[in-house]
Amino acid sequence: MSKKNPRDIIFDTLYAFFSDKKSLKILITKYIKDETSYTDKAFILNIVKGVVRDKRILDENIYQYSKFKKIDARTLTLLYIGTYQLLFCDSVPDYASINTTVELSKRKHKKSFNFINAILRKISKSALKKTDQLKTNRPEIYFSYPDWILNKIRRLYDNKLYSICESSSNIPPIWIRINAFKTNLAELSQILIKNNISFSEDKLLSNYIKIDKFDSKNIILDLIKKGFIYIQNPSSGLVVNLLSPSKNDTILDACSAPGGKAAFIAELNGGGANLTCLDINKKRINQIKSNFSIMGIKDTSFICEDSIRFRANKKYNKILLDLPCSSSGTIRKNPDIKWTLSKNSLKNIQKTQYDILNNMKNNLAKKGEIIYSTCSIFNDENHKNIERFIAENDDFHISKINNKNIPENFINELGGITILPDENGYEGMFAIKIKKNV
């Protein structure tokens, strides 16, 4: 099989994304094959994620020179690729960005190459760039956000708008949880130092470390394959700490796949024997099983069911609801959310979350606890669902955080945790403990 040109892969991935608005993560896995070299992969991901992250300022540049009000998807995708390089890839000279895009157009959409050439030349002569003036006057263009999402963040967090959007525009660091079943910080540090991989330990959670990027020798990927480490943001660790698993707890993780938090729970409850992982998606349950086998976790039970309806044949004293959500706290890692999320889908997500919570209360033992968590920073999915649940269920109350190890600025008005994505390089998240009164 002949090797695919990296620019063709960039086009195929972006065209599929802008045509179908499918998750970018799924498309990246589909189009970037394992055999793609480290350098090509880095180049492809930089442009694909960059175009999706900065789409709105690219649109603004392209349409100011277009005689058409609407440009077809193939042409627009090619223009995004060229314009992104002109604006943001300083190491590529303008003529190279234009020529390579025109050549790509001849392969992917021949009839538009003259138009593409003309627009890119105009942009290279006079582009709308990210300036402080643009940031102040039109933050939605500067940060490339749909108006409704930017306005929502402004309404909720007001003076933090700029720092939240700024942090979400950066390339995310890579956070790793050390898997205590296989290794420890001392051993892992030695491996990383020996291979010249710089890292820093998290200040709050001693089992998390941060690296800047994947190394070209695939040391980090090998460590993942061996189960020594798991890619996980410390925000997830805080959710598990709030659950506070111990040996005597019977725990249901009711939205469990791919099992990142469940693996940490298993570590804290002494091996995962009293842990049940449930998910609606069979394939994703298999992914937990495979992850657990790599990480050396043996005794966990698995159930494939819908948490909106599931009735267990025993009661659990702790239930983790790490709900499907808009993922608005992870835009830095998943910039596609900006273009795939709609007001309507947000409403549906909010309803699913409420329905899961409202059903799962039935599987809780006396005085049992539910941890409700999302990686969203929107109140619709967090405060509103919790307030409604407490109002409709007077046999439950919020158990407010009373832990000196959690920084005060992480504690929200309800007594749970809210982390905004501009804190510590963490992902945005919400978590709260709800307790059955008797």
Ligand X SMILES: C[S@@+](CC[C@H](N)C(=O)[O-])C[C@H]1O[C@@H](n2cnc3c(N)ncnc32)[C@H](O)[C@@H]1O
Q: Which residues bind ligand X (CB under 6 A)?
A: 236, 255-261, 279-281, 284, 306-308, 322, 324, 356
CB of 37 or CB of 348, closer to ligand X: 348
- Three-state DSSP class for residue 125: helix
Q: Min. distance of Cβ 15 from ligand X in angstroms?
A: 27
CB of 124 or CB of 307, closer to ligand X: 307
Query: Helices then strands (H, E): number in the chain?
Result: 19, 12
CB of 104 or CB of 285, closer to ligand X: 285
Cα torsion 304, 305, 306, 310: sign: negative
Q: Min. distance of Cβ 189 from ligand X in angstroms?
A: 25
Q: Min. distance of Cβ 377 from ligand X in angstroms?
A: 14
Cα diameter, the chain: 73
CB of 42 or CB of 294, closer to ligand X: 294
- Three-state DSSP class for residue 435: strand
**Both structure tokens of 265:** 């729970």
CB of 105 or CB of 256, closer to ligand X: 256
- Three-state DSSP class for residue 392: helix
Going by DSSP bridges, is the β-strand pair 208-211/199-201 parallel, antiparallel, or unpaired?
antiparallel
Q: Min. distance of Cβ 357 from ligand X in angstroms?
A: 11
Q: Residue 414 gets which letter from DSSP?
A: T
Peptide bond connecting 258 to the previous residue in cis, omega within 30 degrees of 0: yes
Q: How far apart are CA 389 and CA 280, in angstroms?
A: 23
CB of 113 or CB of 426, closer to ligand X: 426
Please list, in sequence order, all residues whose beta carbon lies within 8 angstroms of the beta carbon of residue 104, skipping any fewer than 6 positions away: 7, 8, 11, 78, 81
Q: Min. distance of Cβ 279 from ligand X in angstroms?
A: 5
Contact 43, 97 (CB under 8 A): no
Q: Min. distance of Cβ 287 from ligand X in angstroms?
A: 9
CB of 113 or CB of 230, closer to ligand X: 230
Based on its alpha-carbon atoms, the radius of gyration of the chain, rounded to whole angstroms, reads 23
Q: Residue 242 gets which letter from DSSP?
A: H
Q: Min. distance of Cβ 115 from ligand X in angstroms?
A: 42
CB of 141 or CB of 349, closer to ligand X: 349
Q: Which residues pair with 318 in a beta bridge?
A: 251, 369
Q: How far apart are CA 98 and CA 118, in angstroms?
A: 10
Nearest to 331 by CA among 86, 156, 150: 150
Q: Residue 352 gets which letter from DSSP?
A: H
Q: Min. distance of Cβ 333 from ligand X in angstroms?
A: 13
Q: Min. distance of Cβ 428 from ligand X in angstroms?
A: 13
Q: Residue 357 gets which letter from DSSP?
A: H
Q: Min. distance of Cβ 312 from ligand X in angstroms?
A: 13
CB of 270 or CB of 324, closer to ligand X: 324
Task: Name the phi and psi angles at 32, rounded to 5.
Answer: -95, 105
CB of 29 or CB of 37, closer to ligand X: 29
Q: How far apart are CA 26 and CA 13, in angstroms?
A: 10
